[in-house]
Structure 1
């Protein structure tokens, strides 16, 4: 076995090649938590997927279990004595992530947004007649409705936001040409622009006002202090959690700074405005699960680990409230504790399935996500909304 590998890779390799009778010794907490039958089913499914085990290696995407048939990602926690204390194996085949493309996506998005803005402005200034100009301005308005209502613009750095806003001013300024233009007869273009604008307004409004009609038993206390920005929330079009039934009403919350969600240049964790901010209990309840030992992800990258990362899950007696992605070492409660509204639970971190520091919160009842409501935050909660608490 390669001694240069991290202890997690060595421990997982020993575990997967061991006799099932040795599993309780190699992973006692895992065997106790899931049971011998479930553990055997997981291991056998992994072996069937990868074939004859070859190696367990480390990669930026996580531990990679390789065999004669394929590869899967895994995560493991190991005690000082070498026992596995936490284990997660992905249920699908592993395909290496395109990390370079992931890093370039913000730049690509910024360039595309800038080019579309400039193209729309140029179209306004070259309109051949008044009817064409009106059609173009309606199309441009639809573009801005989508950008502002769908795109969470406050997440972008100020120079990009100011460029897009300047485009709107420049487009409207082209109205000085109207007295010198003919009326025109391009009513089809005008009708198309109006139709696009109407559709954009309707889609954004419907997504922002969407309710699942599954209310909480009582409103929660907003768990954060200061000003926060909703980057995921609302109807299906504005909330990527909607495809997961228990998370359909979830919110992802970030703080803002001069560089979008960052207070300074660079991508260190401490540059993000949300990182390290206190998280308080939104309700009275009993802690049914808590974790505090997962490592922070590097911003912009996701290394395979349990999706919630460090977290606190609360049972109110009527629903389960879940707060996730907390900072390692910050969680103040453990399973079985009774907590009260406003009690400090931890700090915002970047653990689990996340690309930058934020707080994830959702409530569920019998596996179905509920509409979140807070006593100190009036109105609907949706992507693009600022919350001051």
Structure 2
């Protein structure tokens, strides 16, 4: 029996024909793109792409998105067709050669790290209960506390496997009753093990505290209204240790926010269903007064856990306050209620949380930038800084005035 031939999406055929066509034909096929960026810029991008791939090219569909391949190499692409399906309404061609990613390790391999953490904590608990003197007991407790600080402070607990997380917490709590052994233990002598354990604890606590309190000394001009209602969990936020956005100058102060359900979990067991995520479809409101300078609403959601090549922000709304640009991204397709040029006030409904763009699970990306540099976020209705692992509850979001 022959293997089924994978179906080629229409976007692949249209893009292949577009790249093989003459410039005049390309301008007609991608009239909307020409209107947005100009014919000269479009031809520059096409020429750069064909230089990377060589000719002739073919377009295939894979887990990472559309792949434009030729004799010299390949690049990733994203295409949005016109309503009739024979033209290109939007297009993105990656500016670097495509390198197929390594296969994601199976779940059993991905659990090795959490399992090692659990074994380390278990070993420390056994050491606490079998310590021969008070110095040894203190060293074991300091090591156990340092591991707990790192796991809870850096590891984004709500993202860890629930079973492993609860097991680590339960085992760590099992060490507390061992304090009852102290009156019967000899004092012991100070040794390098205790010094190393205390240094580890101080380093772990200091690193987490510094990352949580980090700021770039460039705040937004006016505090924002928190754009969401209910209970939210900060997936990314804070200093470099806690925020993968910090390496990008314009996004260094960004936060990623995901919703939490009534039991403090991000999702129901069926994680392949977008509606199983507590964040999905929740309203996103304007955090400030501003003018809409960019908006998109037609980019499809990613499947949870997958990351096909798309415009990075996906469906989004960008607001110009006159002093900075506020960016809200990864919104649900079809939910955006504003268009470029609209003037909005705090509380205006902008859209709903989705999973479009560079997103592997439904969440809201929020950041502010000025002159290409990210700014520290401040809010009128949330005290303190937003850092990875923090829970935020806002009873009512901003309302239109």
- The TM-score, its normalising length taken from structure 1, stands at 0.94
Among candidates 24, 31, 35, match of residue 27 of structure 2:
24
Among candidates 156, 159, 164, match of residue 163 of structure 2:
159
Instruction: Provide the secondary structure at the position in 2 that maps to 1:48.
Output: helix
User: Which runs of 5 or more structure 2 residues have no equivalent in the other structure?
Assistant: 395-401
Question: Are 2:235 and 1:235 equivalent residues in the alignment?
Answer: no
Moved more, 89-98 or 100-109: 100-109
Question: Are 2:177 and 1:173 equivalent residues in the alignment?
Answer: yes
Residues 219-255 of structure 1: per-residue CA shift (max 9 Å, x gap):
1110000111111111111111111111111110011
CA distance in 2, matches of 1:241, 1:107: 25
Moved more, 221-230 or 42-51: 42-51
CA RMSD, 1 decimal: 2.0
Question: Are 2:94 and 1:90 equivalent residues in the alignment?
Answer: yes
Among candidates 329, 335, 352, match of residue 334 of structure 2:
329
Instruction: Provide the secondary structure at the position in 2 that maps to 1:371.
Output: coil
Q: Counterpart in 2 of 1:353?
A: 358
Q: Is the 8 A contact 1:156 1:261 kept in 2?
A: no
Instruction: Provide the secondary structure at the position in 2 that maps to 1:144.
Output: helix
Residues 279-311 of structure 1: per-residue CA shift (max 9 Å, x gap):
001011111111111111111110110110011
User: Which runs of 5 or more structure 1 residues have no equivalent in the other structure?
Assistant: none
Q: Is the 8 A contact 2:368 2:377 kept in 1?
A: yes
Q: Counterpart in 2 of 1:142?
A: 146
1:103 deviation in Å? 6.0
Residues 137-167 of structure 1: per-residue CA shift (max 9 Å, x gap):
1111111111121112133454333212112
Question: Are 2:185 and 1:198 equivalent residues in the alignment?
Answer: no
CA distance in 2, matches of 1:57, 1:156: 35
Q: Counterpart in 1 of 2:74?
A: 71
Instruction: Provide the secondary structure at the position in 1 that maps to 2:175.
Output: helix
Q: Counterpart in 1 of 2:397?
A: none
CA distance in 1, matches of 2:304, 2:118: 24
CA distance in 1, matches of 2:109, 2:379: 34
- The TM-score, its normalising length taken from structure 2, stands at 0.91
1:130 deviation in Å? 2.5
Distance 1:12 1:92, change over 3 A: same
CA distance in 2, matches of 1:104, 1:128: 37
Q: Is the 8 A contact 1:285 1:315 kept in 2?
A: yes
Q: Counterpart in 1 of 2:399?
A: none
1:108 deviation in Å? 4.1
1:1-389 correspondence to structure 2 within 5 Å: 4-79=7-82, 80-101=84-105, 107-156=111-160, 158-185=162-189, 187-257=191-261, 258=263, 260-389=265-394
CA distance in 2, matches of 1:215, 1:105: 42
Distance 1:353 1:48, change over 3 A: same
Alignment length (residue pairs): 388
Q: Is the 8 A contact 1:50 1:68 kept in 2?
A: yes
CA distance in 2, matches of 1:100, 1:243: 24
Residues 72-119 of structure 1: per-residue CA shift (max 9 Å, x gap):
111111112411111111122222234542766764444333233223
Q: Is the 8 A contact 1:157 1:260 kept in 2?
A: no
Residues 342-385 of structure 1: per-residue CA shift (max 9 Å, x gap):
01111100110011000000011111111101111111221111
Q: Is the 8 A contact 2:271 2:304 kept in 1?
A: no
